[in-house]
């Protein structure tokens, strides 16, 4: 099957990537090269690249320091038989980064990491995706390229610069809108929903460990357009109340 069918494989993979908060990380054991799998918490960069915060004392980090090749599996944590749920396997290279933007986005999604993020043995890593394999049900098995699931950030510098302030503004002044986005537009249970991130294609909402992705009706690259789109979505949500 290819991504050109009626099923939108690209959108399904992006949703799994943006909503995932933990996954299975596969690395290669030192020195044997045997496969090794571990559970890790994850976040995503502005373009959708997976982000990790890991300790050099952990076996998976020692493996990465010797061989950067990794694979990461994310699934939708569906109730019932887990094999009936969608999952995406991402292949790529784990590269250490000191980017402040990476730190902020990771901690917004994994706030409990704030207690150990500055320990000297911990560091952030970005997975440079080289390919992906989506399994989303019978007949919905698709190989995808990096450009199918990661965002082209051309022309989005203004939004990148405005994201931190916009996220804080949504949580400080428009928490009601975040709650309406989740409950009225995405059908989520009521809760303490907050904005965890914004990018050109959507907004990430989070309540505890539960994360949801609300796509924008159009690509957004400017702060003014972002405000208009968020208001439009809020109006749609209120209309459903």
* Whether residue 55 is found in the same domain as residue 138: yes
CB 124 within 8 A of CB 96: yes
pLDDT for 82 equals: 78
Pick the closest to residue 132 from 213, 34, 21, 23 (CA basis). Answer: 23
Domains held by the chain: number: 2
SS3 per residue for 173-238: HCHHHHHHHHHHHCCCCCCCCEEEEEECCEEEEEECCEEEEEECCCCCCCHHHHHHHHHHHHHHHH
Residues 189-210: pLDDT tens digits? 999 999 999 999 999 999 999 9
pLDDT for 108 equals: 96
**Which of the four pLDDT bands, split at 50, 70 and 90, describes residue 7?**
confident
* Whether residue 108 is found in the same domain as residue 209: no
Please, what is the angle between helix 100-109 and helix 157-173, to 10°? 30
* Whether residue 179 is found in the same domain as residue 199: yes
Please say if the pLDDT value at position 74 is more than 90: yes
pTM for the full predicted model: 0.92
Q: What is the mean pLDDT of the chain?
A: 94
Is residue 4 in a domain? Answer: no
User: Can you give the residue range of the structural domain that contains 212?
Assistant: 157-234
Quote the CA–CA distance of 31 and 34 in Å, as a whole number: 8
* Whether residue 103 is found in the same domain as residue 132: yes
Is residue 42 in a domain? Answer: yes
Contacts of 119 (CB under 8 A, 6+ apart): 55
């Amino acid at each position: 099957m290819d991504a050109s069918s009626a099923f939108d494989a690209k959108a399904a993979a992006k949703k799994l990537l943006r909503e995932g908060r933990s996954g299975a990380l596969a690395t290669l054991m030192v020195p044997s090269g045997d496969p090794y799998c571990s559970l890790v918490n994850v976040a995503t960069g502005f373009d959708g690249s997976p982000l990790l915060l890991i300790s050099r004392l952990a076996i998976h980090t020692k493996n990465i320091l010797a061989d950067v090749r990794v694979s990461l599996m994310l699934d939708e944590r569906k109730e019932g038989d887990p094999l009936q749920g969608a999952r995406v396997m991402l292949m790529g290279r784990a590269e250490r980064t000191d980017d402040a933007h990476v730190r902020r986005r990771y901690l917004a999604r994994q706030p409990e990491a704030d207690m150990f993020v500055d320990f000297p043995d911990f560091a952030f890593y970005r997975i440079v995706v080289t390919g992906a394999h989506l399994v989303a049900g019978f007949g919905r098995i698709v190989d995808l390229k990096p450009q199918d699931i990661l965002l082209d950030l051309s022309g989005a510098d203004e939004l990148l610069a405005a994201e931190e302030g916009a996220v804080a503004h949504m949580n400080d002044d428009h928490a009601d809108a975040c709650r309406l986005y989740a409950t009225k537009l995405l059908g989520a249970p009521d809760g303490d929903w907050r904005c965890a991130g914004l990018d050109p294609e959507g907004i990430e909402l989070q309540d505890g460990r539960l994360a949801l992705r609300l796509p924008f009706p159009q690509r957004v690259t400017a702060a003014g357009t972002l405000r208009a789109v968020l208001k439009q979505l809020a109006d749609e949500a209120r209309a459903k109340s």
